[in-house]
Each structure stands twice: as structure tokens, then as C-alpha cells.
Structure 1
Amino acid sequence: MLSPSNAARLLSALDPGAGDETLVVGAGIGYTAAVLAEVAGARHVHAVDISRRLVYDARQNLSAAGYDAVLVDRADGARGLPAYAPFDRILVEAAAVEPPRDVVDQLAPGGRLVLPRGRGADQTVVAYERDDDDAVSGDAGAVRSSDTGAVDAPDTAGPDDLVEAETAGPVSLSPLLVEGEQAGAGVRNRTRREDAEFSEQGYFAKTGWEHEWIDWDDRLTGTDR
């Protein structure tokens, strides 16, 4: 959970309004999404997190607080939530060197994106804005040709299409994770995976065969030994 002061700075830089379609990348325990639900309306708030456990926690907390209409989904935050794009406001609650391109593509024209920019302890809260008039990716951004009636592929944006609107001081947040980096992700290396499994199972516990052998050996004396 973010400290209240950091959450306040991020939300102040985001500058959400009533009815703004909002995406939170990094649902956490649901606190920031709940605050945004009060401002924009619960049905306009969407949150994603790469950790399935945190998604469950956020859903439970939001439901208990009366914000059942907030959508919380398990997804790779670096890819955003294209099914519900475009978004007027996007808040990334994890540090990155620059906004992920897929997330930028989902920002509506004139929208605002906020994230902690930088690595390690050298991070700054930065608010970006899209000042172009291009449609965003996804079905909602498709452009219909008046001559043929065909649906043309929409133009997409990238980090270069953003304008830095303001900064809101230093901050220190965890880095934005991609699929496979979250806690509990599968381990591809068999040795590392089995070592972790044996450790959880107590494979080398004192009650195992190693202890029994040592205990028997200590009871042997004389020629029996």
C-alpha cells in the first residue's frame, strides 16, 4: 500500500474528474482505486495487477468498502487493459524509465498519464499529456472511412507523443514488473524449482532418513560398529 502522502501526490498530479475513464496499473490493496471511485465514479475506474493474490485482496477490500463496480483484473500492467481503452486518466503505481508504449496507446487524446519515472531511489513523479487528435488503439479507436465504409486501422501513439505537463517531486516505488517476474511465477530452471519444492516439503528435515541413520550409528558399539 502506498503511504497516504504518496497516494495524494500521485492523485493530485493525475487530476481526475467526474466521469473520467481511469486505469490504475498496480491495483495493490485497492486503496487508490477506492479514492478514484469517489472522484470519477466506481464504474469508470479500472485496475490491473500482475499479482493474482493482490487482485483478490483488492476485490475483497473494494467490495467491503462499497465499491463493487470498480473493475479489478489480473494482467501484465505493461500492456494496460486494451479491452476497455481509451482512458482519460492512467495512473502507473510502479517505477519505469518511460511510460510503456502499450499503455500510452490506450490514453485518450487530451488524456493524462502519471508514473514514477526513473530507477532505484532516483524517481520523480511525472505527469504526461497527449496533445494529438489521433484515435487510440482498439475497436473504440477505429476510424471509419466515409468513402468506402471500411474500418481503417487507427493511429497509435507512443512515449514520443507525450508532453511532460508537470512533476510532483521525488518518490520511491517498486519497479514495474512484466509477466514472469511476479511473486509465485513459475521457475523455468528445474534445479532451482526442485530445490524450492524440497525446502517447502521438509525434504532435509531432522525426521528424515539422514537423522535415522545417524541415530542408529550412534547406538552401535564394539565389533558391531
Structure 2
Amino acid sequence: MDDASLRADMIEGLEHQIGEPIEPPVLTALQRVPRDPFVDDSPRGGAVDGDDPHSLSLATLVRLLTALDADEGDSVLVVGAGIGYSVALLAAIAGARRVHAVDIDRAAVHAARSNLDAAGYGAVLVDRADGADGLPAYAPYDRILLEAAVVEPPRPLREQLASGGRIVYPRGAGVQTVAAIEPSTAPEDGDDPAPPGFETVATHGPARLQPMLVDGEQPGTERNRTRREDAERAERGRQRRHGWEQDWIDWDDQL
């Protein structure tokens, strides 16, 4: 099956999964951006749909981009560069020089830069920074996308949003809701979990993304103490049973 057929099958499957047609700008970006640079056998995990903490499912990605509603020429900030695929899609929509991305993980930044360059979007600026602080040097932004779960966007990000702009983020913990918020002068609605001065203008289905990391925290860190300690005990037991040498031999046998 050729690349065009594979891409058409992928898009058809996505539309079935999200239960509606994909919006034209997002659809065009999916058709335009090559996936090969983002799905190789690199240490990043190599799959947009995999379990790597720097990647997310395509269905979730489509929900995020649909909620963001970016247009050509919009200034966009992506918090959480990941493997760079979502950044490339936004570059195809808004223009590569209009898109900026930050990630707190240095390895993710290097991977995103390399992947974007290979895909033809090397003009995108990807910087190593704490996403909670945003990227004030290039503010204000018409659109801000968080690819990490938060209860509400950090204040610096809200302050870097342009008048009439929009922030999209996975809201909550565990299974989240993709939420789009915009500045508002209307009286606060007690039923709206948007932060003060904002209102929720759209929600786009469920998501399950990693929580926003704090400086020095490693991707994949389990924040629940009981689950973290259980995992650590299981890992110690595994090492006692097999040893690192056995792990190395098993890995070598797969080459």
C-alpha cells in the first residue's frame, strides 16, 4: 500500500475514533506533514501513538488542534515539544516562523529539533525552558497549546496570551477533558472551572496526558506515593531475580 493510501486509511480511522469529520485546516496539515521523521526507531520511542511520555495519540492530538482553532499567521506557543509532530502540524497551519515550542526535558528538545528539521520545519523555534513560565521573549501569542495536563494554565501563560487569543489544555488529572479558554470580562460562572478572567468556550472529548513537569522532574515520574513505592519494589525484585546482566543479554539477543 502506498503512502497516500496509508494516510487516507489513517485519517478515516481517526474520524471514526473521534466521531466527526476532521476540520479542514487540521486535515490539510495531516495530509501535508510527513510522519516518517517522527516514527523512526529512535530512543524517543519512535511512535506518535506509542507509550512514550513525549508522544500522544493521534485522536488526542486532533482534539487538541481542533480546539486550538489556529489560523495562518497566528503566533503559536506549544508547551511540551514532545517528538515534534504536533509542532510540525501547527507549523503547516500557521507557518513555521510563527510557531514556538518549549519543553523542560532537554532530550525532548533535541529530538523535536532534529525531527522538525528532517520534516522540513526547521524554522520552528524549540527552546529548553520550564513550560510554566512560557516564552515571554516572543509574546504575545494568539494561540497557546499545553500538551501536559493541568487544573488550570499557569499565570505566566495566561499573561502571555494576546487579546482575543485562546489557550487549549488537557484539564484535570487522570482522564482529562480537552478545554479551550479565552479571556472574558463577563461575571464569573461558578460552574465554569476556567481561571478568573477567562471562560471555557469549547471542550473536545477525553484525553489522558502526562501532568506538567516541574523543573528537575523526570518524564514518567509516578506522583502517587503508593503506586511509586510499589513500582520501585517491583523493579528491585526484578533486578534480584535476573540481574542487569540478564537484561543486557535479553536485549542483545533481540538485535
TM-score, normalised with respect to structure 1: 0.68
Q: What is the root-mean-square deviation in Å for CA atoms of aligned residues?
A: 2.1
- Paired residues for 1:171-190 under 5 Å: 171-183=207-219
Question: Per residue, is there more helix in 1 or in 2?
Answer: 2
Question: Please, which of 156, 159, 182 is the counterpart of residue 129 of structure 1?
Answer: 182
TM-superposed CA distance for 1:126, in Å, is 0.4
TM-superposed CA distance for 1:162, in Å, is 1.2
Tell me the distance in 2 between the aligned counterparts of 1:2 and 1:72. Answer: 18
Tell me the distance in 2 between the aligned counterparts of 1:68 and 1:166. Answer: 32
Question: Please, which of 147, 159, 168 is the counterpart of residue 93 of structure 1?
Answer: 147
Higher relative contact order (CA 8 A, sep 6+): 1
Q: Identity of paired residues, percent?
A: 62
Tell me the distance in 2 between the aligned counterparts of 1:169 and 1:118. Answer: 13
- 1:55 counterpart residue number: 109
- Structure 2 residue runs without a partner (length 5+): 1-54, 186-193, 221-242, 245-255
Tell me the distance in 1 between the aligned counterparts of 2:58 and 2:173. Answer: 22
2:63 is equivalent to residue 9 of structure 1 = yes
Tell me the distance in 1 between the aligned counterparts of 2:212 and 2:219. Answer: 13
Tell me the distance in 2 between the aligned counterparts of 1:30 and 1:166. Answer: 25
Pair member with larger Rg:
1
- 1:160 counterpart residue number: 196
- Paired residues for 1:1-225 under 5 Å: 1-121=55-175, 123-131=176-184, 159-183=195-219
Would the aligned equivalents of 1:27 and 1:49 in 2 still touch at CA under 8 Å? yes
Q: SS in structure 1 opposite 2:172?
A: strand
4+ runs of 1 displaced by more than 4 Å?
A: none
Would the aligned equivalents of 1:109 and 1:131 in 2 still touch at CA under 8 Å? no
Question: Per residue, is there more strand in 1 or in 2?
Answer: 1
**Paired letter, 2:207:** V
